[in-house]
Every structure is written in C-alpha cells, then in structure tokens.
Amino acid sequence: MIRVSDIKLTIHEDKEKILRDKISKALRINSNDIITYNIFKESIDARKQDMIFFTYTVDVKLSKGQEDALREKGFKETPNLEYKYPSKGKKSLNKPPVIVGSGPAGLFCALLLSQMGYNPILIERGEDVDKRTYTVNEFWKQGSLNPESNVQFGEGGAGTFSDGKLTTLIKDKRCRKILEEMVKAGAPDAIMYSHKPHVGTDILKNVVKTIREQIIKNGGQVLFGTKLLEVITEGDKVRCIHTNQGELETETLVLALGHSARDTFEMLYDKGINIEQKAFSIGVRVEHPQRLINEAQYKGFADHPKLGAAEYKLVYHSKSGRSAYSFCMCPGGMVVAAASEPGHVVTNGMSEHARDRDNANSALLVGVTTEDFGSAHPLAGVEFQRKWEKRAFEIGGKNYNAPAQLVGDFLEGRESTKLGHVIPSYKKDITLTDLTEVLPDYVTETLKEAIVDFDKKIKGFANPHAILTGVETRSSSPIRILRNEKYQSNIEGIYPCGEGAGYAGGIISAAVDGLRVAEAIIQEYKK
C-alpha cells in the first residue's frame, strides 16, 4: 500500500463521502483506481479561528501498475507495522513464569507469554474489576478504604480508574500490537488512528476483563487477592515467592508492581534488590467548566458535534528552575479519591468514554528532584509522598475529604471559605482551605506563576471560580528497580517491569515494557 499524508477536510465535510476524492486528488489519479484505503492517523487542526480541519494520513491500495508509478514519483510504501513474535530460547523452564501485578505491564506480559504457550501465573493483590469497582464506589460513598483493593490496586491497575489515555511519546512497533489487542478486547476501532486515542474508564473495565479471559483461555492463570509477601532466593537466583495464599515456585518472576506498591518496595529493598531514587512530580487537580475549555480551544465551533470535549496540554518554566505542567487531562471527567493507604489523601482524574460531564480537570504538577527528598535512602521519595498525603488527610478533616481552594483565592493568598460557580466533582467531598498548608512552598509558588501564564494560552484558565483540589502525588514511581540488558535485576530471574519499576509512564508505555520483558523471557527459555 502507498502512504499519503496531510489530507485535509474542513469540519463541514463528510469524510465518508469525500475522503476518497481527496486521496485521488493528492495522488493525481482517478478515484476508481483506488481499490481500498485505511485511515492510519486522524488529528484536529484548530489553529485558525475561522475554520477547523481534520487532517488524515491514509494507506491506499491501488493496482500494481499504479503503485509502481507512484513510487517512482516519490510516494512512500506503507511501513510494515506487523508485530513479529520472538523466537524461543534454548534453556529449559521448569516452572511457569509468575507475574506480579495486573496493570498494563503485567497484563500484556502475561498475554504474550500465554500466546506463546508459557502458561504464566498472574497474581494480583486486589480484586477483579467488577468487585473492585464496587469496593471503590463504597470508599467514595462511605470513606471505607480497602488497602488491598482501591483506585491503585486491582485488575487493570491505576489506569482502570482514569481517562484511559493511549497517547505515548515512544516510537515502538509494539504500540500497534497493544492497540490491536485492545480493539479485539472491545476498545473502539478509532484508537487505531486517533491522534489522541482514549478509551474511558467505563469501556476500559471490560477491555481488561476480556484480556484476562484470553490469558486464561491460552493456558494461563489469574489469581486475585494474592499478595506478594516475600521473594525467596537460592544463591543469587529466585527460587519461589511467598504470598498470602501460599507458596509459588518459579524461575522467572516479573515485578509489574505499579507505582503505589510501597510495602512491596520495602520488602524488595530489605531483600537486597537494587533500587534507586527517582524524581517525579506533585501538585493538585484543577477543575474548570468544560464549556470554558471548549470555547478557548475551538472558538465558534465549540458546540460542533464532531469535536466533543476539548483537551489541553500546557508547560511553564519558572525562573527558579522549576517547571509546572498539565498532566493526565480529563475532559468532561471528574476528580476522584485515589488513596491506597489509611490516613492519606491522594487525588486523580477519571473520564468515561463519552467525556460528557460538566467539568474538565487536569493535574497541575511541579517537578521535584531527589534533592528535595532530604535523604539519600532509596525509598526517600516514598516517604516524601507520604508526608504530603498525610498532611492533606489532616487538613481535609481526617475523613478522606480533599483540601481544596478556589483559583482566585489561591492566587491572592487567602483561604477559601465558599464555592463560586464551579461545583467540584471530587468523590468523596472537599474541605475548603489554603493549599499552601498541604504542599511545599516551591510547589505552590511555581503553580501560581504557571496558572497566570496558562491564562495567556487558554483564556479563562485563571478563572477565580475554578477549583484546585489536592494532593496529586502519584504522577510516576518514586523509585527505579535496576535491571540489566536482559531486563533482570541483580537477582537472576527477577524482571522489574513497567511504571512501578521506573520504566514507563502511562498505559501504552507500560504495556510496551510488559511485552519487552515477556520477549526477554521467551528468547531465553523454551516453553
């Protein structure tokens, strides 16, 4: 097939009726010569105030003679994006691989191993997605936190209760396999070509369930309510693990833990597994009316049915050397309680596929360095997170209410005492306060500068009625579990993997790392 880029349609044009003609004009051929075409990428160009365009990259199938002629004119052939399954190694594997954690890294590691006949055992400390959803809703209603099954722990990982964004900055052929597997599991076809694909928490729950069922159908096992308690080694090799459900022997242990498995991090450190500190970011969630964001981004086209809820991505570099940025922006979503430890408050954002709620929300984060932790201990970043989460719990009222402040009050340096026009969406509830009490000074000062700057880019961003809710501390893992070129730690047979181990940031990059680790095991061992 021939790849054709930069085909533009106005927002008023119907791609089903006109795209074929646009392709033929770009190729300077008769539209009847096009056998078929597939959309590879679709993006929105809203830079001009008087018109919005959809821009397409398409792969076109023509007669062989036509394709040869176009190649001679400089048109490129469609790259081969088919996933190549790895060749199997020569070493004998006497026990099934064990994977700890069923987030994107663990799920896709287990899926590939099961597809290749290795019968993996996937263990998850939390509940399956249906039970987990009930447990999380009870926490949001009643404040009854289950430390083993919550927004951070359980089937699908932290991404299950999110916007389900599938954007990534990495360039890797594995990305397409992940999208294909998600579509097979029930995700919308549009994720294959959308410039900013997302699934939504409502659909994502069914997708992860279907992938789990496929792992089991392929010969794997998935064990919920099964928590890793100890790694047992023999010499410098893994021999087995102890869980709350008993012992599992294995020669290959994948640690796809997620960024919040703090008790497991401590156990691994005590076991002598090499861990180092890692920088991350902390801050708050900001909420605006979604209509404000739509009008700022799409101007007079804000209500057009083809556009849906608008997004933004913002960055600010302070003279202090700190940077602030928007993260995990959730159009038409809600802010949710995401604690995983009693006595701590953590926020996150979540959207359903329709993105049709009243508010837009995004994390506003400021980078923190390992020097901010105040200790050289490998787990000092964990304690840094806990400090501010505990402070937020106390200021919020010790009942999992989140401390919040109006943007106008935050910029003016005064405590908020009443809400304005924006109704906060946070599940559980909020406590109005002064957010300088729950975050480091260098974070709040940088956020104040950033909000003023962002208002120049998105009119109304500094709306005094907008809501800031804290604290957001789980932007990425505070540690990295070191691994070598074979993806193994200093203990042979242990494979650190995904976001929690410090090698990914987001659903797709974590899933890609899961595939990489699975490939490393396959290339080392026979099934």
- Mean pLDDT value across residues 54-80: 84
- Per-residue pLDDT band for 245 (boundaries 50, 70, 90) equals very high
- Mean pLDDT value across residues 78-84: 89
Structure confidence at residue 347 (pLDDT):
97
Share of the chain above pLDDT 70, in %: 100
CA-to-CA distance for 418 and 406, rounded, in angstroms? 9
Question: Looking at 12-26, 62-76, 291-305, 442-456, which range is the least confident one?
Answer: 62-76
- Per-residue pLDDT band for 64 (boundaries 50, 70, 90) equals confident
- Mean pLDDT value across residues 199-218: 97
Structure confidence at residue 408 (pLDDT):
98
Domain boundaries, the chain: 2-77, 98-276+479-524, 280-472
Structure confidence at residue 303 (pLDDT):
87
Position of tokens 């069914």? 206
- Mean pLDDT value across residues 314-324: 96
Structure confidence at residue 192 (pLDDT):
93
> Are the beta carbons of 145 and 400 closer than 8 angstroms?
yes
DSSP, residue by residue, 351-372: --TT--SSEEEEEEEEEE-GGG
CA-to-CA distance for 408 and 464, rounded, in angstroms? 4
Give the 3-state DSSP-derived string for 312-332, with helices as H, strands as E and coil as C.
Answer: CCCEEECCCCCEEEEEEEEEE
Cα–Cα separations (whole angstroms), residue 360 to 197, 287, 357, 470: 17, 6, 8, 16
DSSP, residue by residue, 438-502: SS-HHHHHHHHHHHHHHHHHSTTTT-TT-EEEEEE--SS-SEEE---TTS--SSBTEEE-TTTTT
* In the predicted structure, residue 49 carries a pLDDT above the cut 90: no
* In the predicted structure, residue 74 carries a pLDDT above the cut 80: no
* In the predicted structure, residue 73 carries a pLDDT above the cut 80: no
What CATH code would you report for 2-77?
3.30.70.2700
- Per-residue pLDDT band for 27 (boundaries 50, 70, 90) equals confident
CATH 3.50.50.60 is right for the domain spanning 98-276+479-524: yes
